[in-house]
Amino acid sequence: MSSTKHPIGLRWRAHTLFIIATVAIGLFTDLFLYGLVVPVLPFMLKERIGLPQEKVQSYVSGLLAAYAGASVVCSIPVGMIADRTNARRTPFLFGLAALLAATLMLSLGKNVPTLIIARILQGTSAAVVWTVGLAMIMDTIGPENLGKVIGSIFSFISVGELMAPVLGGVLYRKTGYGGVFGLGAALLGIDFIMRILVIEKKTAVTYDKSMASAKNPREHGTREEESEFRGGTSEEEESDRRDDASEEEPLLPKKEEDKYRIPEGQNTLVRNLPILYCLSDPRLLVAFLLAFVQASLLATFDATLTIEAQALFDFDSLKAGLLFIALDIPYLLLGPIAGWAVDRYGTKPAAVIGFGYLVPTLILLRLPSAEITPTRHTNIILYSALLSLNGVGLAVIGSPSIVEASDVVQKYDKANPGLFGENGPYAQLYGFNSLVFSAGLTLGPVLSGTLRDSIGYGNMNAVIASVSGLTAVLSFFYIGGPPKIPSTWRLNRDR
């Protein structure tokens, strides 16, 4: 029977689209405010604080790293707390309070320690919004559409990550610091209203039993089960599956759950935080590696693009910020398509193709500094085109890491009923994912800034390209499980 005292607007406040939109706005706000000051930081450090030009790069990288370092420290505790609370909205609001304090300090700070504290508070907020927000998404939609939803969210919030420097540069040039942080305050207001209004599915059910279609993630089928339910398998695929089973059956457990069952007698740490045992799975480790490299790539563009544009073209903050549009457009347009492809074809193709594709596009970023074009104008066009090509790769790699990690942990959750608690391990999982992603945001600017200063921009991108290539190779062998050999190949091999 339904409760007689419904919150006003219960159905639309607990609607799937509103929950997704609230999380998306929260992630957007976090990354927007992270990136808003990217083109402004070099000028803020030089003009407001008085640092000499030769120290600007190291301090910019350090401030970007302070944000991510705070996320690294806070992510796992936030995940543990979120999985032990009845409502995820409470920590979600706490994260917003930290972000508000950080924005005020950035707008008013006139010394380096204040700026560092502000970035640390931003990082703390990021740990909350990424951990709790993604857990809310998983609670709401389950794993079968996760790639499409994550891809769409990432394409939207990429505007926060990559478009914010554009607006930051424009506003700083036209209005100064007041315009930059005034925009941030307006966005915080929208975010606050949505986080106050949102009602989680499981909370809505306590008021209206007719909304009981909402499920805990563990009640959804695995991605493989949902795929078979929706589309089935062809006769040839079914034949291959039987061939695989007949050949490998003696080597495999009788039930898939056996592979994911956690043995009894674990130490106290694993019993209290059983997701730690899941880290022994190579699929999960490589999924986290994908998140780390993805974050490092985003942070590399944040930390070096503005300064490289200054060096190559003598751009001010406005013009340097506009270059980020070249990264934004393909990311925004292709993100949902890439996420749909992950749901349809699995995580392995997207991860292998995406990271493999980025190898040549990153290497080609050395061309503008080589001045192979006859004029400065054509060199700017070349750099913008190369950034767009990299934006395509960033869109492709947006969702495989989260989808793969969720799939692996869901299998452990299903194979070990009750071990992960009432709410499951998903906030803990996204806490680890946030930790790894934040580590990439921490090390990316430091590594790229150091490499740019020591071996130059072109060679820096060559090093990062090699990391992307190695990630593609590891993805081929581990993401989505070991690569499958078609039965016709095995027959030819056996002959």
254 burial type by CB count under 10 A (0-12 exposed, 13-18 middle, 19+ buried): exposed
pLDDT for 469: 97
- 232 φψ region: left (φ > 0), alpha (ψ -120 to 50), beta (else): left
pLDDT for 86: 65
pLDDT for 221: 55
Residue 49 lies in a domain: yes
Which CATH number covers residue 421?
1.20.1250.20
How confident is the prediction along the chain (495 residues), in pLDDT tens digits per residue? 444 577 788 888 888 899 899 999 988 888 787 777 766 777 778 878 888 877 777 787 788 778 777 887 888 888 877 777 766 777 878 888 888 888 888 877 788 888 888 888 888 888 888 888 888 888 788 777 777 788 788 777 766 666 777 777 778 778 877 787 788 888 888 988 988 888 888 778 777 776 655 455 555 555 555 554 444 444 444 445 444 444 434 443 546 677 888 888 778 888 778 888 888 899 999 999 999 999 899 888 877 888 888 888 888 767 877 788 888 788 888 888 888 888 888 899 999 999 999 999 999 999 988 878 888 889 989 999 999 999 999 989 988 998 999 899 888 888 888 787 777 788 888 888 888 887 887 788 888 888 988 998 899 999 999 999 999 999 999 998 888 765 555 555 555
pLDDT for 465: 96
Smallest Cα–Cα separation from 127: which of 70, 87, 83, 86? 70
In whole angstroms, what is the distance from residue 262 CA to residue 94 CA? Answer: 34
Q: Which amino acid type is present at position 166?
A: V
Would you say the C-alpha torsion 401, 293, 328, 349 has a positive or negative sign? negative
The runs of H, that is alpha helices, within 314-323 are 317-322
Q: What's the total number of domains in the chain?
A: 1
Q: What are phi and psi of 74, to 5 degrees?
A: -95, -20
Residue 391 lies in a domain: yes
458-461 contacts at long range (C-beta below 8 A, 24 or more positions apart)? 458/365, 458/366, 458/369, 458/370, 459/366, 460/300, 460/304, 461/362, 461/363, 461/365, 461/366
Three-state SS across 230-291? HHCCCHHHHHHHHHHHHHHHHHCCCCHHHHHCCCCCCCHHHHHCCHHHHCCCHHHHHHHHHH
pLDDT for 90: 77
Residue 367 lies in a domain: yes
Residue 416 lies in a domain: yes
Beta carbons within 8 Å of 484's beta carbon, 6+ residues apart: 240, 244
Residue 204 lies in a domain: yes
Residue 2 lies in a domain: no
Q: What is the pTM of this model?
A: 0.77
Range of the domain at 313: 10-212+275-478
What is the residue whose two structure tokens read 């159905």? 11
Residue 249 lies in a domain: no
Residue 309 lies in a domain: yes
pLDDT for 355: 97
